[in-house]
Amino acid sequence: MGKTSCYHCGLDCDKKAILFDEKSFCCNGCKTVYEILNTSELGCYYDFEKTPGTIPSEIQGKYNYLENETIVEKLLEFNDGDTSVVELYIPSIHCSSCIWVLENLSKLNNGVTTSMVNFTNKTLRVTFKNARTSLKEIVELSTSIGYEPYISLDDADAKTNKVDKTLIYQVAIAAFCFGNIMLLSFPEYFQVDGFWLEKYKYLFRYLMFSMSIPVVFYSAKNYFISAYKGLKHRILNIDVPIAIGISVLFIRSSIEIFLDIGSGFFDSLTGLVFFLLIGKFFQQKTYNFLSFERDYKSYFPIAVTKIIDAFEASIPVNDIVKGDRLLIRNEELIPVDGILINGNAAIDYSFVTGESVPVSKQSGDKLFAGGKQTAGAIEMEVVNTMSQSYLTQLWSNDVFSKTNEITIKNITDTISKYFTIAILTIALFAGIYWYVTDSSMAFNVITAVLIIACPCALALSAPFAIGNMLRIFGYNKFYLKNAETIEHISKVDTIIFDKTGTITSSDKTQINYEGENLIEEELRLVKTVLRASNHPLSRSLYRFISEEPFEEKPTHFEEILGKGIQAAVNDNYIKLGSSSFLEVNSNTTNETSIYIKINNQLKGCFRFKNSYRSGLDSVFSELSRQYKLIILSGDNDGEKSYLEKILPTNIEFYFNQKPEDKLQFIKELQSKGNKVMMVGDGLNDAGALAQSTIGIAISEDVNVFSPACDAILDAKLFHKFPEFLMLSKQTIGVIKASFIVSFCYNIIGMYFALTGQLTPVVAAILMPLSSISIVVFVTILTNWISKKL
């Protein structure tokens, strides 16, 4: 048996070639990818060239410069040797179909882990495995399916993109040709007779034909390209009916000119393209002005501890400069790229790559933004500041998606897809009807129907309504992970609260020590261990102890969530935590305490008298009217009687709950059909926050960052919590109202188009106006309902 080419990769197969579906594959891997592509309706991958699966010849070699490691390193945002992350600017992204194709790159290249599109900024963020693929292959793949990235090596360091002026040039050419064709059409309009006009009539017509060519083939080319790519990938996007309308006008007018039937519709054709492009231009300007999708992330409440002359100060991430020395505590996220100075570094890069195995680092090794320290405190020097948007992109990574429920976005995309099919069907039947009734009207009716009925307004209402509310929430220090979070909040029926650090305030906590007096050295040992912890009680006790910690770092550090800490400092073994963790018989079970053992000798304990957040009673009173409320705490039930006095009577209490108990408790509620919101401190509650339908971390210490949660609320705004929940519900109401308005637009416009009362040019003007008005409608309405904040 001779060699044959593998249907997927193009490599030669030997006599052991795998036969499947009447095709040859060189290995099970290629066969599996083929099955995935066919199952996912992405079989178009094999249509690029006669040799399936290969890169089209026109781009082969174009991106060879991406084999240069120096150049690639400048373009990558993250690279730990195994996994890389890159953000590509793709100017041709313009509709939901583009998003669908680009977010399915993992099905076209098995080296791609995830690919996420930022529609507003026209960027594609790709996470990929270095062993399976390369940046060059990804760029070639993206280009081959019609989405060529703009890569400027001059701007690689600045990460900036040049402004694409193509649309401006297209508008200018369409305007010039439209104006001149209108002038040349005047004699035809007024049926003017005269020797001079009659003699040069054909010249005028051919001039109009000539000037329409650059309008159709340059100014309107993007509509044809987009329609072709959509059809090629079996996608009916919103540009298909527009491309058909332009084609019909041009072909019909050309036939009339060359067969001397009439002057054609070149004025309407160029006017249609001109007004479509003008509408597109103003849409872009409007969307940029009202672009809220990621603006809220500028207010993200993450800070870091900076070491200044042996003193520690908390500063915002965007104030970090190159050369700063930072302290990263246990379970803290590394906000910027840097070099490890000292400490035991075990970095969990799961926020970036999705893989949770910690990577050990030595002094002098490079640390990347997005890693989480898991083995105590470390110190690092900043070598490259990065924008906060990078961290918030990690927070929004699809790796942490917890649900596959049908969402507003999915519904919108589905409606938009079938909308185009419906419009084409209506245009066909309308054309047949008018051809039989009045053939002179058929042409205008078909074109007007194709142009006026556009799903743009429908598709834009949800992202702009939710995007604006994200921005408003951000201004008020309630930071949501993504757009779907608002929708999920609106469906919640059960809210679970942690106690310590959530409904209690660590800033006002009273601390008393009981036991054997601690000498200065012992206090310094305790503070050295506490320095590495981010638990609310640890942070409170760290501030309470006035002695300075030792410069020496713990040689061993282990923090067991919900129990305590064990560490080794200067050959001393220290153990801090609950009475059960230290195996101590506690006589007082009604107080929150941290017990201390040094070298296996019990020294005493620090007792905490909790101070509850202001407005706690009113918050719970308001929430109890609409939600089932539960307090789920790892502490003992010593303050249960006090809480029962100040909180509504229908609240359930569960104490002495370990982190795994909380997670299991939420699972049981969800199995009964409950939509559960967990409100915690973001550290001990990480598992519960991730398991819940919606996890909200109350942030009192801005250093704490928990990608396991879906939202972060500044503790000072806890009293506004019910208002945020109510506004989330009202935002979904605004979206539904905008859907109704959008449908009304299309029904009214369709009526006038079908009855022949709407010309194609007027339809071209109304189409972008409907989209802009919907955007303005949802923006004004969301601003109005949020005034109470």
d(CA 613, CA 678) in angstroms, rounded, equals: 18
Q: Look up the CATH number of the domain holding residue 573.
A: 3.40.1110.10
Length of the chain: 789
User: Residue 32 is which amino acid?
Assistant: T
d(CA 515, CA 73) in angstroms, rounded, equals: 57
User: Residue 164 is which amino acid?
Assistant: D
Sign of CA dihedral 273, 278, 281, 283: negative
Do 88 and 103 share a domain, yes or no? yes
SS3 of residue 84 by DSSP: strand
- Could you tell me which residues are beta bridge partners of residue 628? 494
Do 488 and 633 share a domain, yes or no? yes
Do 588 and 707 share a domain, yes or no? no
Do 245 and 320 share a domain, yes or no? no
- State the greatest distance between any 2 C-alpha atoms of the chain, in Å, as a whole number: 118
d(CA 112, CA 128) in angstroms, rounded, equals: 4
Q: Look up the CATH number of the domain holding residue 346.
A: 2.70.150.10
Q: Look up the CATH number of the domain holding residue 635.
A: 3.40.50.1000
Query: How far is Cα of residue 778 from the mean position of the Cα atoms in its chain?
Result: 20
For the record, the structure tokens of 95 come out as: 């509709």
User: Residue 92 is which amino acid?
Assistant: S
Instruction: Return left, alpha or beta for 323; rule: phi > 0 is left, psi -120 to 50 is alpha, else beta.
Output: left
Q: Looking at the whole model, is its pTM more than 0.85?
A: no
Pairing outcome for strands 359-361 and 345-348: antiparallel
Do 136 and 192 share a domain, yes or no? no
Phi, psi of 662, deg, nearest 5: -65, -45
Pairing outcome for strands 564-569 and 345-348: unpaired
DSSP assigned state of 562:
T
d(CA 412, CA 403) in angstroms, rounded, equals: 18
Domain annotation covers residue 418: no
Outline where DSSP puts E strands in 498-614. 510-515, 556-560, 564-569, 572-577, 592-598, 601-609
Phi, psi of 264, deg, nearest 5: 75, -165
Do 489 and 623 share a domain, yes or no? yes
Task: Report how far apart the first and last C-alpha atoms of the chain are (Å, whole number).
Answer: 76
- Find, among 701, 789, 713, the residue nearest to 505 by Cα: 701
Phi, psi of 35, deg, nearest 5: -65, -40
d(CA 592, CA 621) in angstroms, rounded, equals: 26
- Find, among 716, 666, 719, 662, the residue nearest to 694 by Cα: 666
- How many other C-beta atoms can be found within 10 angstroms of the C-beta atom of residue 765? 18
Choose the final residue of a domain: 694, 711, 728: 728
User: Residue 548 is which amino acid?
Assistant: E
Give the Å distances, CA to CA, from 745 to 243, 275, 455, 748.
22, 19, 10, 5
For the record, the structure tokens of 440 come out as: 């002179």
Answer whether residue 403 shows pLDDT above 60. Answer: no
Q: Look up the CATH number of the domain holding residue 12.
A: 2.30.170
Q: Look up the CATH number of the domain holding residue 81.
A: 3.30.70.100
Where does the pLDDT of residue 777 fall: very low under 50, low under 70, confident under 90, or very high at 90 and above? Answer: confident
Where does the pLDDT of residue 593 fall: very low under 50, low under 70, confident under 90, or very high at 90 and above? Answer: confident
- Per-residue HEC secondary structure of 105-162 comes to HHHHCCCEEEEEEECCCCEEEEEEECCCCCHHHHHHHHHHCCCCCECCHHHCCCCCCC
For the record, the structure tokens of 528 come out as: 């050295």
Based on its alpha-carbon atoms, the radius of gyration of the chain, rounded to whole angstroms, reads 32
Instruction: Answer for the pair 538, 565: CB distance below 8 angstroms, yes or no.
Output: yes
Mean pLDDT lowest among 12-26, 29-43, 566-580: 29-43
Do 619 and 491 share a domain, yes or no? yes
160 or 68: whose pLDDT is higher? Answer: 68
SS3 of residue 705 by DSSP: coil
Do 623 and 486 share a domain, yes or no? yes
Mean pLDDT lowest among 19-33, 265-279, 285-299, 743-757: 285-299
Q: What percent of the chain has pLDDT over 70?
A: 74
Domain annotation covers residue 753: no
**Tally of domains in the chain:** 6
Do 151 and 233 share a domain, yes or no? no
Mean pLDDT across 365-371: 82
Choose the final residue of a domain: 107, 122, 155: 155
Mean pLDDT lowest among 59-63, 577-581, 601-605, 775-779: 59-63
How many alpha carbons lie under 13 Å from residue 106 in its C-beta half-sphere?
Answer: 12
- Collect all residues with Cβ–Cβ distance below 8 Å to 58 and sequence separation of at least 6: none
Do 341 and 483 share a domain, yes or no? no
Sheet of 378-384, strands arranged across: 311-316, 303-308, 325-328, 378-384, 337-342, 366-367
SS3 of residue 576 by DSSP: strand
d(CA 679, CA 124) in angstroms, rounded, equals: 32
How many alpha carbons lie under 13 Å from residue 268 in its C-beta half-sphere?
Answer: 24
Domain annotation covers residue 233: yes
Instruction: Answer for the pair 427, 241: CB distance below 8 angstroms, yes or no.
Output: yes
Q: How many helices (H) and strands (E) does the chain have?
A: 25, 30
**DSSP secondary structure letters along 427-491:** HHHHHHHHHHH-HHHHHHHHHHHHHH--THHHHHHHHHHHHHHHHHHHHTTEEESSHHHHHHHHT
Choose the final residue of a domain: 584, 609, 634: 609
Domain annotation covers residue 758: no
Domain annotation covers residue 431: no
d(CA 706, CA 666) in angstroms, rounded, equals: 18
Where does the pLDDT of residue 214 fall: very low under 50, low under 70, confident under 90, or very high at 90 and above? Answer: very high
Answer whether residue 295 shows pLDDT above 60. Answer: no
User: Residue 472 is which amino acid?
Assistant: I
- Find, among 175, 124, 116, 127, the residue nearest to 151 by Cα: 124
Instruction: Answer for the pair 85, 351: CB distance below 8 angstroms, yes or no.
Output: no
Mean pLDDT lowest among 122-131, 234-243, 474-483, 709-718: 234-243
Query: Which class for 234: exposed (0-12), middle (13-18), buried (19 or more C-beta within 10 A)?
Result: exposed
Mean pLDDT lowest among 49-63, 246-260, 543-557: 49-63
Where does the pLDDT of residue 18 fall: very low under 50, low under 70, confident under 90, or very high at 90 and above? Answer: low
Pairing outcome for strands 711-714 and 694-699: parallel
d(CA 343, CA 373) in angstroms, rounded, equals: 10
d(CA 473, CA 789) in angstroms, rounded, equals: 9
Do 65 and 94 share a domain, yes or no? yes
Phi, psi of 551, deg, nearest 5: -70, -30
Domain annotation covers residue 220: yes
d(CA 597, CA 585) in angstroms, rounded, equals: 13
Q: What percent of the chain has pLDDT over 90?
A: 6
- Find, among 588, 587, 584, 605, the residue nearest to 596 by Cα: 605
Give the Å distances, CA to CA, from 80 to 126, 274, 376, 464, 722.
15, 49, 21, 36, 43
Mean pLDDT lowest among 291-300, 354-363, 418-427, 438-447: 291-300
Query: Which class for 391: exposed (0-12), middle (13-18), buried (19 or more C-beta within 10 A)?
Result: buried
Do 278 and 330 share a domain, yes or no? no
Give the Å distances, CA to CA, from 193 to 199, 203, 256, 395.
10, 16, 20, 72
Mean pLDDT lowest among 70-74, 235-239, 651-655, 751-755: 235-239
d(CA 136, CA 75) in angstroms, rounded, equals: 11
Instruction: Answer for the pair 420, 238: CB distance below 8 angstroms, yes or no.
Output: yes
Domain annotation covers residue 350: yes
Task: Residue 145: give the domain boundaries.
Answer: 57-155
pLDDT at 470: 81
SS3 of residue 294 by DSSP: coil
Mean pLDDT lowest among 458-472, 609-623, 629-643: 458-472
d(CA 137, CA 143) in angstroms, rounded, equals: 10
Pairing outcome for strands 592-598 and 601-609: antiparallel
d(CA 550, CA 705) in angstroms, rounded, equals: 26
pLDDT at 215: 92
Answer whether residue 224 shows pLDDT above 80. Answer: yes
SS3 of residue 218 by DSSP: helix
Domain annotation covers residue 618: yes
DSSP assigned state of 492:
-
For the record, the structure tokens of 586 come out as: 């506690």
For the record, the structure tokens of 307 come out as: 């070491």
- Find, among 688, 699, 640, the residue nearest to 661 by Cα: 688
545 or 108: whose pLDDT is higher? Answer: 545
d(CA 200, CA 663) in angstroms, rounded, equals: 84
pLDDT at 676: 92
